[in-house]
Structure 1
Amino acid sequence: MNGHVKTPLVTRSGYNQLRDELDRLWRTERPETTRKVTWAASLGDRSENADYQYNKKKLREIDRRVRYIRKCLERLKVVDYDPQQEGKVFFGAWVEIENDAGKQLTLRIVGYDEIFGRNDHISVDSPMARAMVGKAQDDEFDVKTEAGQFTWWINKIWYNTDDRLL
């Protein structure tokens, strides 16, 4: 593992997405791929059988992802929205920010396992997220990165309703 710290937090919606992916992999994709492997194996010479090779590889990938998600779901702590968070930036917040050049970004502060495939989600462990936690609307904050130090302003803060404990 690289030196990246991973705080074991996840939003309610992020946890549900991981759980749903695990369910889909285990109940649908794995049995379907297993059937294809069995079918391809029944055709004989496996060394020359592209269907067999491909589906066997796919099965290994599914199993690896299933193990990873199961470990995640065991270790992750779900952070539900709390009304006390209102008006301030905390884990799970959507934040609209702007810099002096007028560049605007809308970002959500989430757990490490929720950032992949999303360019609008940042890890709670990132310099940007760490710099804004606890801040309120109209506050300014500085972010230090390898590219230098940058000043941003918070225009707006809101929370997802699907992360509220019902």
Structure 2
Amino acid sequence: MDRPNYITPEGYSRLRTEYQQLFEIERPALVETISWAAGNGDRSENGDYIYGRKRLREIDRTLDRLSKKMSKAQVVDPAKQPDRGRVFFGATVTVADEDDEERTVTLVGVDEADASSGRISWHSPLARALRGAALGDLRRVMLPAGEKEYEVVAIRYPDA
């Protein structure tokens, strides 16, 4: 089952910027270095040539991965969400657990998730539990540490 690969406009822009940096700047410079190193004679002990070829393969793999991600990405602008009273993709949600400890998370695409900064994947257990929730709703989430119940305290979307 293929799930849609939602991504915010900012997340897509970051992917595109990384792709362009590698394709337009790093790769051509590296190809030039490899050509220069190849012209220096024996390639078997030529560090510039050997390292350059290895780095070129890494860049090509990264470009391929980024290209596939961008082609499958479905850009969704959370600022254009018509129903701001419920939790959908791109929402920033503040939840409180049973101990009244609050946590704020933003539901983003898989490629832009960063739990340490509060950006969780749209497909994570907490995000799946919060989807469609309204202010004041209680949601149970099965986490690795056990089941936990959260109350939705606030829902925000970026301004258009």
TM range (shorter): 0.7 to 0.9
Map of 2:43 onto structure 1: 46
Map of 1:28 onto structure 2: 25
Map of 2:133 onto structure 1: 135
Task: State how 1:1-166 maps to structure 2 within 5 Å.
Answer: 7-81=4-78, 82-115=80-113, 119-161=117-159, 164=160
Secondary structure of 2:45's aligned partner: coil
Pair 1:83–1:9, CA change in 2 (3 A): closer
Alignment-mate amino acid for residue 65 of structure 1: T
- Output the TM-score relative to the length of structure 2: 0.85
CA distance in 2, matches of 1:116, 1:63: 25
Secondary structure of 1:144's aligned partner: strand
Q: Which runs of at least 4 in structure 1 moved beyond 4 Å after TM superposition?
A: 116-119
Render the CA deviation track for 1:92-131: whole Å, top value 9, x for unaligned. 1122222223433322211212226864222111111000
Q: Identity over aligned residues, as a percent?
A: 38
> Contact 2:96–2:102 at 8 Å: present in 1 too?
yes
Secondary structure of 1:46's aligned partner: coil
5+ residue gaps in structure 2?
none
CA distance in 1, matches of 2:44, 2:101: 55
CA distance in 2, matches of 1:5, 1:112: 14
CA distance in 2, matches of 1:100, 1:24: 46
> Contact 1:7–1:125 at 8 Å: present in 2 too?
no
